[in-house]
């Protein structure tokens, strides 16, 4: 068994996403840039995550590219994963080193199965407006992220191009202030299947908050999502369905619910034993 989890707004939280009226004393920095804290993790969630990682492989699964993943210092100093998935599945790290064979196969599949990136971004530009686009990035020659002003961006108008993008072999996801355009061969669930093979395990516990995590959660044996974000909104509106539940809390406290869910499963499966205490 392995535990595979998205990071941002699932286990770690920015100032914007951590929630209102959260006591600073319950969290510690997870990531810093030039001395400035970028994201936090709940102390309780981190301590329980350490316990999990001592018993089964913990696999971070993130849309962050390599450089941005490496900024998260808790995965160098407190928990050092054997496996990690970055760039939405385009990279698998083994003991901190990129698996070149995996990356080359993924990129070949992108060339074979998806339209060129110029066509995907052109489709997006047909509905976008410079008034609400702050910054547009093309990461690692793989996928686009567009930083937007959510108050000005017309969500329905943007989502209306999803069928066109799908015909091009690209997916669309809105996560907070970012819009992602990702070719279908680059996926978290595909990468976790390869990690299962590498680790020699059959079962997966998974967590995540966005549409880019949906395939990961759908393919897992046990899955949970935080009570915020793209998936939560989709389920509440009735637009999405799935065989997984949501946390009792939102914001940074959702991470505590998530790791407790993982520990409960491990306890039930006889992997670890503990006496549960309620917060």
Chain segment 21-37, per-residue pLDDT in tens: 778 888 999 999 998 99
CA distance 263 to 131: 46
User: Whole-number mean pLDDT of the chain?
Assistant: 94
pTM listed for this prediction: 0.93
The answer to whether residue 278 scores a pLDDT higher than 70 is: no
Q: What residue ranges of the chain are covered by domains with CATH 3.40.50.1000?
A: 2-106+187-268
Banded pLDDT at 108 (limits 50, 70, 90):
very high
CATH class of 2-106+187-268: alpha beta
Burial pattern 10-30, b for ≥16 Cβ within 10 A else e, equals: bbbbbeebbeeebeeebbeeb
Q: What pLDDT does 95 receive?
A: 97
| R_g of the chain computed on alpha carbons | 18
Q: What pLDDT does 22 receive?
A: 79
Q: Counting runs of H as helices and runs of E as strands, what totals does the chain give?
A: 11, 14
Q: What pLDDT does 18 receive?
A: 85
CATH topology of domain 115-183: Gyrase A; domain 2 (3.30.1360)
Give the model confidence (pLDDT) of 247-268 as tens digits: 999 999 999 999 999 999 999 9
- In terms of C-beta density within 10 A (0-12 exposed, 13-18 middle, 19 or more buried), how is residue 155 classed? exposed
Going through the chain in order, the beta strands assigned E by DSSP cover: 2-5, 27-33, 36-42, 58-60, 83-86, 91-94, 97-98, 133-139, 143-148, 170-175, 178-183, 204-207, 222-225, 245-246
Banded pLDDT at 277 (limits 50, 70, 90):
low
CA angle 4–40–133, rounded 5-degree value: 85
Q: What residue ranges of the chain are covered by domains with CATH 3.30.1360.60?
A: 115-183
Banded pLDDT at 272 (limits 50, 70, 90):
confident
């Amino acid at each position: 068994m392995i535990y595979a989890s998205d990071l941002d707004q699932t286990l770690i939280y920015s100032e914007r996403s951590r929630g209102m009226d959260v006591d600073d004393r319950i969290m510690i920095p997870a990531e810093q840039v030039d001395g400035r804290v970028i994201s936090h993790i709940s102390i309780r969630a981190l301590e329980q995550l350490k316990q999990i990682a001592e018993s089964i492989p913990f696999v971070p699964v993130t849309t962050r590219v390599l450089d941005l993943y490496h900024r998260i210092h808790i995965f160098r100093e407190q928990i050092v994963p054997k496996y990690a998935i970055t760039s939405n599945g385009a990279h698998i790290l083994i003991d901190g080193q990129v698996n070149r064979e995996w990356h080359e196969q993924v990129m070949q599949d992108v060339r074979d199965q998806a339209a060129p990136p110029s066509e995907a971004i052109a489709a997006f530009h047909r509905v976008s407006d410079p008034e609400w686009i702050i910054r547009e990035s093309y990461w690692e020659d793989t996928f686009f992220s567009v930083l937007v002003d959510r108050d000005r961006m017309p969500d329905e108008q943007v989502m209306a191009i999803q069928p066109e993008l799908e015909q091009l072999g690209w997916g669309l996801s809105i996560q907070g202030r970012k819009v992602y355009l990702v070719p279908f061969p680059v996926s978290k669930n595909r990468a976790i299947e390869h990690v299962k093979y590498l680790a020699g395990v059959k079962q997966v516990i998974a967590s995540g908050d966005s549409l880019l995590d949906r395939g990961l959660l759908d393919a897992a044996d046990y899955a949970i999502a935080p009570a915020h974000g793209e998936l939560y909104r989709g389920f509440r509106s009735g637009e999405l369905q799935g065989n997984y539940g949501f946390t009792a809390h939102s914001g940074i406290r959702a991470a505590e619910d998530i790791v407790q869910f993982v520990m409960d499963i491990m306890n039930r499966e006889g992997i670890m034993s503990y006496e549960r205490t309620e917060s």
